Amino acid sequence: MARILDGTAIAAQIKLEVAAEVKSLAARGIRPGLAAVLVGNVAASQIYVRSKVKTCEELGIFSEMLTPPETVTTEEMLRLVTELNNRTDIDGILIQLPLPKHVDTKRLLDAVSPDKDVDGFHPVNAGRLQAGRPALAPCTPAGVIEILKRSGIAISGQHAVVVGRSDIVGKPAAMLLLHENATVTICHSKTRDLPSVTRQADILVAAIGRAGFITSDMVKPGATIIDVGINRITDRAEFDSFFAGDAKREETFAKRGSTIVGDVHPAAFQVAGAYTPVPGGVGLLTIAMLMANTVRAAKIRRGL
């Protein structure tokens, strides 16, 4: 039976370590600070940002949530970012995506000081990561590495296949795995005979953003599956294709009218040696690594 890699427990462990670091910095008169910028009234984004702010409070990190209106312009947002770049009490700047279509997201993310870029999206941090130099790495890929290491999954010498090439997850995850001495293959929508490639993976990272895309015939027996996907499904037929006979999921679906599935079809976990569940896997690490990045940014800015 496949081993479940418990994101809940690992995230809790990282948070305890961050809280200890915050306490140590407090003894030196330093309190890490995070500014979260949330534009408009997107319900999912509001929930996500509030959870980040709440976690800051729990760990002793100063946090401030800024909520420009939906009508905010790119120039107004750029001025806000400049102000945050210049504030000495702010070590990390988080701009919650997606932004309204009329706001130039790329210009905005590039305007964030690389030293305060706790999401790891700035080209300077991407370059540092590629070069193997100290950098603020994107939170989700960093969480993938933490899950593997803290679960005792060997990375060095293993063949890791990353399905997905986004700048936020796929590419940085591949780079971090490479730095851990894995042999890395990146796949995407144009990859020929994708199943033949994924079946070679000792570690299979699914980050393509399509519900249940990785099926059991695409998995090498005994492989470790890291499912990064978070896809909400509301269609009954689609639900049945994933979770028929799953009483617990059925109860959730009946109550909420929806449920969450990753990029890996649940049947594929029967083939795996270990896997991250959805929910309860990689997603929980994202916030934990954001907290870790904020503390790291605070220390780097002060030469510690």
What number of other Cβ atoms are within 10 A of residue 90's Cβ?
23
Fold of 139-285: Rossmann fold (3.40.50)
d(CA 131, CA 138): 15
What distance lies between CA 189 and its chain's CA centroid?
Answer: 21
Q: How confident is the model at residue 93 (pLDDT cuts 50, 70, 90)?
A: very high
Q: 28-118 and 139-285 share one CATH topology? A: yes
Q: Which long-range contacts (CB under 8 A, 24 or more apart) does 25-29 make?
A: 25/295, 25/298, 25/299, 26/60
Positions marked catalytic: 52, 96, 119
Digit-coded pLDDT (tens) for 245-283:
899 899 989 999 999 999 999 999 999 999 999 999 999
DSSP string of 58-97, one letter each residue: HHT-EEEEE---TT--HHHHHHHHHHHHH-TT--EEEEPS
How far apart CA 83 and CA 104 sit, in angstroms, is 18
Indicate the CATH number for domain 28-118. Answer: 3.40.50.10860
Work out the pLDDT band at 34, boundaries 50, 70, 90: very high
Q: What does the pLDDT look like over 144-189, one tens digit per residue?
A: 999 999 999 999 999 999 999 999 999 999 999 999 999 999 999 8
**Closest to 151 in 3D by CA, of 262, 288, 6:** 6
Domain boundaries, the chain: 28-118, 139-285
pLDDT over 80 at 50, yes or no: yes
